[in-house]
């Protein structure tokens, strides 16, 4: 029997991790700990909420006393930590909330886990603190080729096959941290604290850095679900700058599968990059999403291209992210299960078939917040 806390389990990625663990490991007790901020939504977990090995606890990760009590009451062996403020645009408006949750919240979990685990006769034996981080902590990559070849070009950086790239370099586990946004600065700080708890106290920690996720249950303020929702409602699509920034996209279920493999087989104190060697310019993703939504709604493909609206760029907008996940693929045998074309088709279909989920979020207070945020850009 293992007692595992998954923080942020009511959010986008967390809900996929909770679902995978609850279904795959009936012998584990899975506790979903979430404050239910604007981004937390228990509707994401309707299909597993009645399972006997699942429990939801509403808690703020910054509440040290409550979490220390939970560690003792539930005899927690493992923590998979996803709870965070996760949206870059919000961090530009409100950095303090990001420092509080992402830095102080993570530190609070670490310290409570340390006190509890060190009080046990077996101490850290069989315990694990797994921290989910992002590729954004590495900063931004350039979009150049040493021989002056115009991107995109193919590269062999992938362990398996050639893939399209927009620059010659990648984020490796050894890449120096160089965060630019308040969000990535707060995540970088939390990563440092996690590693410090291993190096100082011997806590069995693991950190992973993943690229952009897409798929069902993502809050519709992030690029792909926001644009799907706007296209179906024929609302403008705010493309930041020239739409030339490059992101590296991974289907969320593949991230959850990687978390499962790493939680069980990863080496303590190691870092693993997670990504699918799948770089896209924003504008190309946007055109693909428009064509897919149009086709699935029975509109002529491309009919909604005129919704594209170029707006003022995001402050400090990172040019390119590209993850090298060779270490994870080679050492732990993980690889993505889906090609992007299949993943985006599934994703668009899911949002169009789950209009109620979208409408519940996009009506009411969130809509007002969203509008004021963009008015003040």
Please give the positions annotated as active site.
135-136, 183
Residue 4 Cβ vs ligand DAU, minimum distance, rounded to whole Å = 23
The burial class, CB within 10 Å (0-12 / 13-18 / 19+), for 156 is: exposed
Residue 32: how many CA atoms within 13 Å on its side-chain side? 29
User: Which residues ranging from 307 to 366 are in contact with ligand DAU (CB under 6 A)?
Assistant: 314, 321
User: How far apart (Å, rounded) are the C-alpha atoms in residues 166 and 156?
Assistant: 13
Distances (CA, A) of 141 to 66, 122, 280: 41, 44, 14
Quick one: which of 54, 38, 46 has its CA closest to 5? 54
Closest CA to 60 of 105, 112, 95: 105
The count of residues interacting with ligand NAD (CB under 6 A) is 30
Asked if 37 touches ligand NAD (CB under 6 A), the answer is: yes
Q: Is 256 among the residues that bind ligand NAD (CB under 6 A)?
A: no
CA contacts within 13 A on the Cβ side of 147 = 3
In the complex, the smallest distance separating the C-beta of residue 30 from ligand DAU, rounded to whole angstroms, is 23
C-alpha 24/C-alpha 268 separation (Å) is 23
Picked from ligand NAD, ligand DAU, none, the partner binding residue 239 (CB below 5 to 8 A depending on kind) is ligand DAU
Q: What is the distance between the alpha carbons of residues 38 and 369, in angstroms, rounded to a whole number?
A: 10
Q: Which does 36 bind (CB under 5 to 8 A by kind): ligand DAU, ligand NAD, none?
A: ligand NAD
* Binding region for ligand DAU (CB under 6 A) out of 32-40, 68-76, 221-229, 324-332: 221-229
Using CA of residue 14, residue 15, residue 19, residue 25, what is the dihedral sign? positive
From the list ligand DAU, ligand NAD, none, partner contacted by residue 35 (C-beta under 5 to 8 A by kind): ligand NAD
Q: Which of 6, 8, 91, 328 binds ligand NAD (CB under 6 A)?
A: 8
In the shown chain, the binding pattern of residues 87 to 116 toward ligand DAU, with x for contact by CB under 6 A and - for none, equals xx----------------------------
Contact pattern for ligand NAD over residues 294 through 333, marking x by CB under 6 A: ----------------------------------------
Beta-strand pair 128-134/212-214: unpaired
Residue 245 interface partner, choices ligand NAD, ligand DAU, none, CB cut-off 5-8 Å depending on type: ligand DAU
Query: Strand pairing partners for 274?
Result: 210
Closer of 134 and 205 to ligand NAD (Cβ): 134
Partner touching 88 among ligand DAU, ligand NAD, none, CB below 5 to 8 Å by kind? ligand DAU
Binding residues for ligand DAU restricted to 134-153, rule: CB under 6 A? 134-136
39 interface partner picked from ligand DAU, ligand NAD, none, CB below 5 to 8 A per type: ligand NAD
Applying CB under 6 A, does 239 fall inside the site for ligand DAU?
yes
Select the residue interacting with ligand DAU from 117, 129, 219, 240 (CB under 6 A).
240
> What is the pattern of x (binds ligand NAD, CB under 6 A) and - over residues 105-144?
x--------------------------x-x----------
Say whether the peptide bond before residue 152 is cis (omega within 30 degrees of 0): yes
Q: Which residues bind ligand DAU (CB under 6 A)?
A: 86-88, 134-136, 211-212, 222-223, 226, 238-240, 245, 247, 282, 314, 321
Q: Which residues bind ligand NAD (CB under 6 A)?
A: 7-8, 10-14, 34-37, 39-40, 60-62, 82-86, 101, 105, 132, 134, 187, 210, 212-213, 219
């Amino acid at each position: 029997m293992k007692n595992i806390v998954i923080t942020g389990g009511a959010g986008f990625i967390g809900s996929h991790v909770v679902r995978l663990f609850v279904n795959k490991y009936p012998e584990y007790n899975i506790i979903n700990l979430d404050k239910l901020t604007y981004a937390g939504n228990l509707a994401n977990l309707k299909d597993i909420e009645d399972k006997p090995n699942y429990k939801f606890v509403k808690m703020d990760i910054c509440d040290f006393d409550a979490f220390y009590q939970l560690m003792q009451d539930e005899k927690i062996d493992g923590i998979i930590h996803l709870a965070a403020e996760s949206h870059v645009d919000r961090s530009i408006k409100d950095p303090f909330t990001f420092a509080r949750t992402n830095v102080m919240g993570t530190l609070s979990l670490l310290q409570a886990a340390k006190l509890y685990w060190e009080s046990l006769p077996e101490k850290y034996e069989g315990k694990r603190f797994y921290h989910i981080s992002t590729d954004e902590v590495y900063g931004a990559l350039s979009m150049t080729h040493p021989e002056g070849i115009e991107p995109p070009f193919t590269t062999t950086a992938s362990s398996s096959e050639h893939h399209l790239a927009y620059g010659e370099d990648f984020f490796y586990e050894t890449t120096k941290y160089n965060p630019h946004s308040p969000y990535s600065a707060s995540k970088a700080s939390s990563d440092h604290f996690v590693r410090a708890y291993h190096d100082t106290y011997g806590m069995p920690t693991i950190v992973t850095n993943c690229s952009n996720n897409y798929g069902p249950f993502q809050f519709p303020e992030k690029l792909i679900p926001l644009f799907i929702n706007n296209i179906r409602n024929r609302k403008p699509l705010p493309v930041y700058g020239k739409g030339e920034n490059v992101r590296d996209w991974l289907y969320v279920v593949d991230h959850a599968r990687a978390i499962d493999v790493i939680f069980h087989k990863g080496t303590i104190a190691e870092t693993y990059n997670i990504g699918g060697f799948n770089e896209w310019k924003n504008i190309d993703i946007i055109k693909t999403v428009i064509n897919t939504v149009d086709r699935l709604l029975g509109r002529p493909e491309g009919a909604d291209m005129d919704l594209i609206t170029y707006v003022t760029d995001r402050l400090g907008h990172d040019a390119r992210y590209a993850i090298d996940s060779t270490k994870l693929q080679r050492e732990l045998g993980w690889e993505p299960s889906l090609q992007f074309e299949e993943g985006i088709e599934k994703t668009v279909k899911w949002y169009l078939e789950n209009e109620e989920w979208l409408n519940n979020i996009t009506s009411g207070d969130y809509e007002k917040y969203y509008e004021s945020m963009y008015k003040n850009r």
